[in-house]
Amino acid sequence: MFENGFWVFGYGSLVWQPEFTFQAREIARLDGFSRSFCMRSIHHRGSVANPGLVLALDRDRQAHCDGVAFFVGPEVSVATIAGLRERELISSAYLEQIHEIHLRSGKKVDAVCYVIDENHNQYCGGLPLAEQAAIIAHAIGGRGPNTEYLYNTASHLRQLGIKDNELDELERLVRSITST
């Protein structure tokens, strides 16, 4: 399925740290999902003892998520999907799904999307922003501080002209807790 190349949709750390070779990159929109800090991170941005929070695509028929679509060419597609699965499916809280996305250029393409499994024990949708901020301010995992994940994602989305008011407010709350 992936041998001829594929699109992958990034909405969190893939936006600023894809860690794979791609042939094209374009702003894109996925309908029916919101970007949400709804997954407890016990590996990358937290630990079992002190879970952090990471972003996931949370199903919401009324919402959309703006992010970045990457086209991975056929020459690296098999290795890239294997690397993405190792990174994204580390605890099975994400489901790898194919969804239609709308590229800013007007084209519609099918893309690999990593969607939260609402039945997984790491799912924590609906946490108030203040509670999210308290968690993110103090968690550290194998890839570093949870704050770094939030700050890099928010900064890169702004640089790309992608507006996310909730993410901006969460960043403000975390910075007030950490005074950074």
Domain annotation covers residue 76: yes
- In the chain, the number of structural domains is 1
CATH number at residue 15: 3.10.490.10
pLDDT digits (tens, 9 = 90+) for 70-91: 999 999 999 999 999 999 998 8
Domain annotation covers residue 141: yes
Domain annotation covers residue 144: yes
Domain carrying residue 87? 6-178
Instruction: State how beta strands 108-116 and 6-10 pair.
Output: parallel
- pLDDT of residue 180 exceeding 70, the answer is no
Domain annotation covers residue 1: no
pTM: 0.93
pLDDT digits (tens, 9 = 90+) for 117-127: 999 999 999 99
